[in-house]
Chain A
């Protein structure tokens, strides 16, 4: 029976090939499929047209438009002025470092070497340095600081 079925198998293979050719438009791989939960959100948000969720366009009259432009220009002028001020200050600071180092170089080469020394791992940024916040913490300043060395000494005693 097995032997006899060989030609039959061969013909069925041909038939399946033909079928495959005819169903070429069918998508077999799952491409462009998003996460199920993402799809849910997309569905929910796209159920309503964007125009229904949007606010009305602001239509400014000529006078209000000029007001708006004046405000924005004023802001830009102030920003530019502040930036210039900051840059000038930075330039002055840099120049005074250069002056100090030039003087050290000629008058005290040993101190110049110390002042120019940079540790190989760079200056470590202190983790204790606090970022300014809008409102102060409950205790604005930490007074009970104990240096690490003192801690070690205490542990030994």
Chain B
């Protein structure tokens, strides 16, 4: 009887087909700009910066500007001498200690001549001159860290959230997943990373510049529902356009926090260590 049980158990196991091998692609867009500072970080850096400035040596003006030159005159116009100590006056914040036109008690703030004019520098009736974009003397205004895609909250754009790592997810049968590719013909096995690379081209067109981190899969997710073994391959998109070849394909570029809301909770909990916090 025991033998019969065992035989039936073996038969039950044998009838179940072995899991399908598939390759999932963890395609990330790395941050374009540096990470945003949290309030504590920015406050600490400001504190350190102030300390550093306070403890800095006096600017060696005599080294950079020779006495009696035009440049020195311009420098002196911009940087007025601090008030010297006068025994007839009262100094509630303490006696000034002037050394080399600097009050030793405070940090030294140096103003250098500007090559352009600001609105507040203009005299009355004067207007700002038109400056061409190629003018080397123009004021440098850095580009905004918040892009158009952020303003309209376009989740499919590669230009959103420049300071964060974005990950590609696609919608399959109403469920958000990492793009998953299964081998078509099983006669000659295809390497997992090759499968993912070919899949990416089929998914988003061939005009994508990507970098495959390794041939080695970084995670194994066992999909019980579809009897699948999903090996995750890590890859970075460097440039190019992700253009879905299938018009009906829904895809999103999301950060780690946003993935938490979109992905299945159990699935997210299993793979969340693969996503970057920055």
**Chain A interfacial positions (CB closer than 8 Å to B):** 41, 44-45, 48, 52-56, 58, 71, 74-75, 78, 85, 89, 92-93, 96-97, 99-101, 103-104, 107-108, 110-111, 114-118, 123, 126, 128-130, 132-138, 140-147, 150
| Interchain CB contact under 8 A, B44 and A75 | yes
Bound-state CA distance A94–B274 (Å) is 10
Bound-state CA distance A87–B265 (Å) is 24
Q: How far is the CB of A67 from chain B (nearest CB, A)?
A: 10
B203-233 vs A, CB cutoff 8 Å, 1 = contact: the mask equals 0001111010111111110000000010110
Q: Give the nearest-CB partner of A117 in chain B.
A: B215
List residues of chain B with CB within 8 A of the CB of A107.
18, 229
List residues of chain B with CB within 8 A of the CB of A114.
189, 191-194, 215
Q: How far is the CB of A120 from chain B (nearest CB, A)?
A: 14
List residues of chain B with CB within 8 A of the CB of A101.
216-217
| Interchain CB contact under 8 A, B189 and A133 | no
In-complex Cβ contact of A103 among B51, B100, B147, B229 (8 A) = B229
| Interchain CB contact under 8 A, B60 and A145 | no
| Interchain CB contact under 8 A, A141 and B158 | yes
| Interchain CB contact under 8 A, B239 and A138 | no
Q: Give the nearest-CB partner of A150 in chain B.
A: B206
Q: How far is the CB of B246 from chain A (nearest CB, A)?
A: 20
| Interchain CB contact under 8 A, A55 and B55 | yes
By size class, the interface of chain B is: 35 or more
| Interchain CB contact under 8 A, B273 and A96 | yes
B31 at interface by CB-CB < 8 Å: yes
B51-79 vs A, CB cutoff 8 Å, 1 = contact: the mask equals 10011111010110000000000000000
Q: Which positions 253-273 of chain B face chain A at CB distance < 8 Å?
A: 273
Q: How far is the CB of B110 from chain A (nearest CB, A)?
A: 14
Contacts across chains A and B counted by CB atoms under 8 Å:
166
Bound-state CA distance A52–B101 (Å) is 11
Bound-state CA distance A92–B272 (Å) is 10
List residues of chain A with CB within 8 A of the CB of B31.
132
| Interchain CB contact under 8 A, B21 and A108 | yes
Residue from A89, A123, A132, A142 whose CB has the most chain B CB atoms within 10 Å: A132
Q: Give the nearest-CB partner of A146 in chain B.
A: B207
Q: Could you list some 17 contacts between A and B, CB below 8 A?
A: A55-B107, A58-B51, A75-B44, A96-B218, A100-B232, A114-B215, A129-B236, A130-B30, A132-B31, A132-B33, A135-B33, A136-B144, A141-B159, A145-B208, A146-B207, A147-B209, A150-B206
List residues of chain A with CB within 8 A of the CB of B56.
55
B95-109 vs A, CB cutoff 8 Å, 1 = contact: the mask equals 001011000110110
Q: How far is the CB of B256 from chain A (nearest CB, A)?
A: 11
Bound-state CA distance A123–B236 (Å) is 14
Bound-state CA distance A111–B30 (Å) is 28
List residues of chain B with CB within 8 A of the CB of A71.
44, 47
Q: Give the nearest-CB partner of A138 in chain B.
A: B143
List residues of chain A with CB within 8 A of the CB of B216.
97, 100-101, 115-116
Known: A44-B60, A115-B193, A132-B163. 20 other contacts (CB 8 A): A53-B57, A54-B104, A55-B56, A55-B104, A85-B277, A92-B273, A96-B274, A100-B217, A111-B21, A123-B213, A126-B209, A126-B236, A128-B239, A129-B211, A135-B143, A135-B144, A136-B144, A137-B32, A143-B239, A147-B207
